[in-house]
Amino acid sequence: MIVIVDYGMGNLRSVEKAFEFLGCRVKVSSDSKEIKSASALVLPGVGAFKDCRENLEKKSLVEPILSFLEKGRPYLGICLGMQMLFSYSEEGGVKGFSLFKGTVKRLPPKNKVPHMGWNSIFYENNSLLFKGISEGSFFYFVHSYYAEPEEKVRVGYTNYGVKITAAVEKESIFGVQFHPEKSGRLGLKVLENFRSLV
């Protein structure tokens, strides 16, 4: 069972519908037992990093998520769910899960913020998420902050005034800055590739 973490933020239903379209057994849940026992975990997010962290703490979901991650099962973070993997965010000055070394930074003032629209992705390393997807393909982004890793976890990037981390991967932990559930056929392919790990 793929469990989508319900912490009161994010477009949960859109993500759930995308997995259902692929024929996956999926459930939206904030139950710690269901999170810990999931075969795969998805943490989507739309909004502010600080609000995300506070909501996770209010619902006592940080420990279950970290417990799940320790077991080596597949995790997919979408947008905020990816940023939360890092050490710290400038958005509210809040700590993340610190699974990856790095900082979530605000896009430069010269850029139109938020970054909203379709951008092409280029690869830094091979990733299961992009299996069968040509480099340069377009995906849909909506964000004002971007992750800057301090270790080699970035597998895809896009350019928007600065080099933006579009995807990360380390062992069974995956993250994407873009929204696969809003990225049409290729977005579904990313989710299908993730599903193949379950």
The 10s digit of each residue's pLDDT in 98-149 is 999 999 999 988 888 899 999 999 999 889 999 999 999 999 999 999 999 9
How many CB atoms are closer than 10 A to CB 126?
10
Residue spans per domain, the chain: 2-195
Helix (H/G/I), strand (E/B), else coil: 166: strand
Domain at 2-195, CATH class: alpha beta
Q: Record the tokens describing residue 11, joined without a space.
A: 């477009």
Yes or no: say if 30 and 7 are a contact pair by the CB < 8 Å rule.
Answer: yes
52 included as an active-site residue: no
The C-alpha torsion from 95 through 69 and 168 to 80, rounded to 10°, is -50
* Cα(139)–Cα(186) distance, integer angstroms: 8
Catalytic residue among 79, 115, 143, 169: 79
Q: In what order do the strands lie in the sheet with 163-170?
A: 26-29, 2-5, 40-43, 75-78, 173-176, 163-170, 154-159, 122-123
Catalytic residue among 91, 169, 181, 192: 181
Catalytic residue among 24, 52, 115, 179: 179
Q: What is the pTM of this model?
A: 0.96
Among the listed residues 138, 147, 140, 188, the one whose alpha carbon sits nearest the alpha carbon of residue 170: 147
Among the listed residues 184, 181, 186, the one whose alpha carbon sits nearest the alpha carbon of residue 26: 181
pLDDT of residue 27: 96
pLDDT tens string, the chain, 198 residues long: the values are: 999 999 987 779 999 999 999 999 999 999 999 999 999 999 998 888 999 899 999 999 999 999 999 999 999 999 999 999 999 999 889 999 999 999 999 998 888 889 999 999 999 988 999 999 999 999 999 999 999 999 999 999 999 989 999 999 999 999 999 999 999 999 999 999 999 998
Burial 28-54 (b: 16+ CB within 10 A, else e): bbbebebbbebebbbbbbbebbebbbb
